[in-house]
Amino acid sequence: MPSTKARKSVKSQSAGVRLSARQGAPRAAPAGAANPAQPVPPDAVRVWRGFRLGTSMPQDFLTALGTVFIPVTAILQRLYGLTAYLPSVLPQSKPAGVPDEIALVFYRTQQAYTDTSLIVAGRAYSALHKTVFAFPQSLSGFPVMLTSKLALDTPVHLFSDETDWHEGYSQVYVGARDASVPVPQFLAGIQKFLINLQRKRPAGMDGAVACVSSAYVVYWEHWQSEAASLKGRIADLAGLSQRVILQPHVPTAIDPSLTDKYAGIPAVDSRSFNIQFPR
């Protein structure tokens, strides 16, 4: 159970990342755009961990994310089965070995994602990654159900519920492994946390996804409401790793048009978004 101090920290971060009109918030989706509930299987999500291309300067990288990469992910992929998109841009001061950007990218099914490779726009979007991110360091994959064994660099989901991550309340934790902690010990600690959570799920939690590498842990959870999330234990991960971020995904509208003049999302550094788009 998070302490009162930890809960206040999450709330304060939430306030700090809300985009107001004064900050130049993106335009909302067109009035009347339909967004019916679209719960999807917990394994119908690409779990992305991206590392900045070495030839790209940090500010150029952030600009590319905000003006091109993050908006175009929703603008294009929503046409091919995208149901929810939750990116996070990590602070430039993050420890070495921690990704520069992470995301959950939900589709109707795994097949819907696979089929994007049959479409010219889908292939163009895939190729765009190499203009921003380093490969093979950057990784993406579908999660598997967590069992008694947690493997490095293998995304997992904790529950079998179909959930609509476009709605509700989501938050993310990223932590770095302390150099003094051996990798097996780090992995075992995260595994114990996840299995305990899986066995004793708090009321109101309907989704959780995680991935652990030798250098970091990324963990997302979805709640029916922000109030319900106060029953969670996400802050306990700071006892198993060096906290990099712990923050909610702020609902952020984009202009979904392929032809409108649109500047993109300003000031993406150190922020987590739940990109809102018509589905």
Tally of structural domains, the chain = 1
Q: How much is the mean pLDDT over the chain? A: 90
Q: What is the CATH number of the domain that holds 43?
A: 3.30.70.100
Q: What was the pLDDT predicted at 169? A: 98
C-alpha 78/C-alpha 276 separation (Å) is 11
> Out of 18-22, 28-32, 126-130, 173-177, which region has the weakest mean confidence (pLDDT)?
18-22
Residue 268 maps to a domain? no
More confident residue, 35 or 101: 101
Q: Which range marks the domain in which residue 129 is found?
A: 4-32+39-253
Residue 262 maps to a domain? no
Angle (CA) 206-122-71 rounded to 5° is 65
Kindly state the average pLDDT of the residues 130-134: 96
Residue 277 maps to a domain? no
Kindly state the average pLDDT of the residues 67-75: 97
State yes or no: pLDDT of 119 exceeds 90.
yes
Residue 201 maps to a domain? yes
C-alpha 221/C-alpha 44 separation (Å) is 15
Q: What was the pLDDT predicted at 34? A: 54
Task: Render pLDDT for 163-222 as a digit per residue (tens, 0 to 9).
Answer: 999 999 999 999 999 999 999 999 999 999 999 999 999 999 999 999 999 999 999 999
Residue 78 maps to a domain? yes
Residue 264 maps to a domain? no
Kindly state the average pLDDT of the residues 248-256: 97
Residue 158 maps to a domain? yes
Residue 227 maps to a domain? yes
> Closest Cα to residue 40, out of 149, 143, 194?
143
